Amino acid sequence: MPRPISARIHLDAIRHNLDFVKRTAAASRVWAVIKANAYGHGIERIFTALAAADGIALLDLDEAVRVRELGWTGPLLLLEGIFDARDVETAARYRLTVTVHCDEQLDLLEAAKPPQPIDIQLKMNSGMNRLGFRPGDYVRAWRRASGIASIGEIGLMTHFANADDGSIDWQIDNFDAATKDLPGTRSLSNSASVLWHPRAHRDWVRPGTILYGASPTGSARHIEGIPLRAAMTLESQLIGVQTLQAGETIGYGRTFSADRTMRIGVVACGYADGYPRHAPAGTPVMVDGVRTRIVGRVSMDMLTVDLTPCPHAGIGAPVELWGERVRVDEVAEPSGTIGYELMCALARRVPVVASSRLDAAQIA
């Protein structure tokens, strides 16, 4: 029997979350963001759940080619754009829309002679100071792009620095002031601004983490009451049970000491599976359908849990590390990270099962 750990990918949850985005930003078209191998869920596994998206956005050419070969015929956006002349050839061959954020990328497009023009999203640095043309230089970049024969439609886009925890009006104002006389569709909203900043919805929105049911802020509290469903469940079983007496410790570093007689469960999951090593004692976990907590230090292949709330749980009892009942953000936040880092970090050694009412279960 294989080690009793697996991840389940819920295609119905992704469909549900995409539908929620479309209803929330009803006047906008949706770029479904599937970078980082669909946030660790697997592009091939989730592809059928994206049928209702208007476009797909991702990071690199390999991912884009994979999506085209799966049969996607709609718009396909490279979020960081192109890096050399060969990328221009691939973008033309696979009918990609490319983000353009610097003059060097315009140079590549200007030097190319693709068989048909390539659509672009011209990116503005409206205040995040990462990629893009500054507002004062944006019109010049747009005019240059509009004069390049190898460029087709020009969309206008930007990215927000703190849509998850603050006001973005200053960035919207910067964007609007610089683009007020320019034609083209607008794309501003990431996941957080889809949820909380309707002023930013515009022609296209670009949801990423909320498609997979995680919080844009990294805190599960911030999406309480928002009907997002977890798209990934990491589950395992108890493979051992120990009884500690008061004063006894458990695990590496002896970081947890029992203050009474306690039953401790050992779970077949550790940091080599993608669970955060620095998750502190008290991080929630479901054992045999009951919410409890991890105790002690997370090891490479195992972690330990308090069985006090579930006295009848024994070897073989099911364990949910994160998923439908323990949100991934509830594990990430006390670990000092965000839910989508954990989803992206799921280890290759963990078997993955994708399932849906509409799709036969498949093991990858």
| Strand residues in the chain grouped as ranges (E) | 6-10, 29-33, 55-58, 76-78, 97-100, 118-124, 151-158, 186-189, 204-205, 232-244, 249-250, 256-257, 262-267, 284-287, 290-295, 303-306, 318-322, 352-355, 362-363
Q: Which two tokens stand for residue 349?
A: 């050694």
Q: What is the amino acid identity at position 7?
A: A
Give SS3 for 192: helix
In this predicted structure, what is the pLDDT of residue 357? 55
pLDDT digits (tens, 9 = 90+) for 111-122: 999 999 999 999
Q: Which of 22, 35, 180, 271 is catalytic?
A: 35
Q: What are the φ/ψ torsions at residue 291 (nearest 5 degrees)? A: -75, 130
Question: Does residue 212 carry a catalytic annotation?
Answer: no
Of the residues 252, 271, 275, 340, which is catalytic?
Answer: 252
The answer to whether 123 is a known catalytic residue is no
CA atoms within 13 A on the CB side of 39: 26
In the numeric block, the tokens 């928002």 are attached to 226
pLDDT of residue 356: 73
Residue pair 98/120 in contact by the 8 Å Cβ criterion: yes
Tokens found for residue 75: 């718009």
Q: State phi, psi for 255 to the nearest 5 degrees.
A: -80, -15
Question: Averaged in consecutive runs of 10 residues, what is the pLDDT profile of the chain (364 residues)?
Answer: 94 98 98 97 97 97 96 98 96 98 98 96 97 98 98 98 90 97 97 97 98 95 95 98 97 95 98 97 98 98 98 97 97 96 96 72 39
Residue 59: DSSP 8-state: S
The whole-number pLDDT of residue 361 equals: 38
Query: Domains along the chain?
Result: 11-219 (3.20.20.10), 232-326 (2.40.37.10)
Whether this prediction's pTM lies above 0.75 is answered by yes
CA nearest to 4, candidates 239, 246, 329, 283: 239
